[in-house]
């Protein structure tokens, strides 16, 4: 079974209008709407893509010719055949929600937390969706393109210890 067969099967499962495809070098990408992500990934897992390599996101703010703000990317691997597939979906403000794939792959837990931490995309149904890298009290999402590289003063929001106090 090659990539074309898988795309045909996926189109039969989800509907022909819901699935777009593209390729870049060896990567075959499947673009589905946000509402169809969970059914698509669930189906792909059933037909052999048993390993979730990565979940990440992209901010397309200021990106030329981009229609949507955020892209969420799922990288899948079939461990039996070594075949890989990339599933993408696009999200826009204010609906930054997407179903969690934690029920399919337990490894999605920390990946989704990281995407939430950096981009503020909420994964609905995630068992423990809180910040993973940044401190709990952090309020911004620093990998968004509208966030300044040097931050908004969070790095200097600490008490100063002097010799007299310590």
Partner 1 sequence: MPTGVPENVFISKLDVLANWVRANSLWPMPFATACCGIELMATGASRHDIARFGAEAMRFTPRQCDLMIVAGRVVMKMLPVLQRIWLQMPEPKWCISMGACACSGGVFDTYAVVQGVDRFLPVDVYVPGCPPRPEQLIQSIIDLQNRIKQTGTLTGREFRQRQQHEGPIPLTVLPPEAIIAPGDYKTATKDWSNEQP
Contact status, residue 97 vs residue 89, Cβ threshold 8 Å: no
Per-residue exposure over 45-72, b if at least 16 CB sit within 10 Å of its own CB, e if not: beebbeebbebbbbbbeeeeeeeebbbb
Whose Cβ is closer to partner 1: residue 64's or residue 94's? 94
Considering the complex, what minimum distance in angstroms separates the CB of residue 72 from partner 1?
17
Strands 97-99 and 84-91, sheet pairing: unpaired
Considering the complex, what minimum distance in angstroms separates the CB of residue 31 from partner 1?
24
Whose Cβ is closer to partner 1: residue 107's or residue 120's? 120
Whose Cβ is closer to partner 1: residue 2's or residue 162's? 162
- Distance CA(89)–CA(131), nearest Å, equals 22
Considering the complex, what minimum distance in angstroms separates the CB of residue 93 from partner 1?
5
Whose Cβ is closer to partner 1: residue 90's or residue 147's? 147
- Distance CA(62)–CA(93), nearest Å, equals 15
Considering the complex, what minimum distance in angstroms separates the CB of residue 10 from partner 1?
32
Whose Cβ is closer to partner 1: residue 65's or residue 164's? 164
In the block, residue with structure tokens 């068992």: 127
Residue 111 structure tokens: 């990946």
Angle at CA of residue 117, ends 115 and 120, nearest 5°? 75
Which residues sit at the interface with partner 1, rule CB under 8 A? 93-94, 96, 120, 134-135, 139-142, 144, 146-164, 166
Considering the complex, what minimum distance in angstroms separates the CB of residue 89 from partner 1?
19
């Amino acid at each position: 079974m090659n990539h074309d067969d898988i795309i045909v099967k996926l189109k039969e499962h989800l509907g022909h209008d819901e699935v777009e495809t593209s390729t870049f070098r060896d990567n075959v990408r499947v673009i589905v709407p946000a509402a169809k992500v969970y059914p698509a990934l669930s189906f792909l897992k059933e037909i052999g893509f048993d390993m979730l390599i990565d979940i990440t996101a992209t901010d397309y703010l200021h990106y030329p010719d981009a229609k949507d703000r955020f892209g969420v990317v799922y990288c899948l691997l079939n461990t039996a055949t070594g075949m890989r597939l990339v599933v993408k979906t696009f999200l826009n403000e204010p609906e930054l929600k997407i179903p969690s794939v934690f029920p399919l792959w337990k490894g999605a837990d920390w990946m989704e937390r990281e995407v939430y931490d950096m981009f503020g995309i909420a994964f609905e149904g995630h068992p423990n969706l809180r910040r993973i890298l940044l401190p709990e009290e952090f309020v911004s999402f620093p990998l968004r393109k509208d966030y300044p590289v040097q931050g908004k003063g969070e790095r200097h929001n600490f008490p100063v210890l002097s010799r007299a106090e310590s």
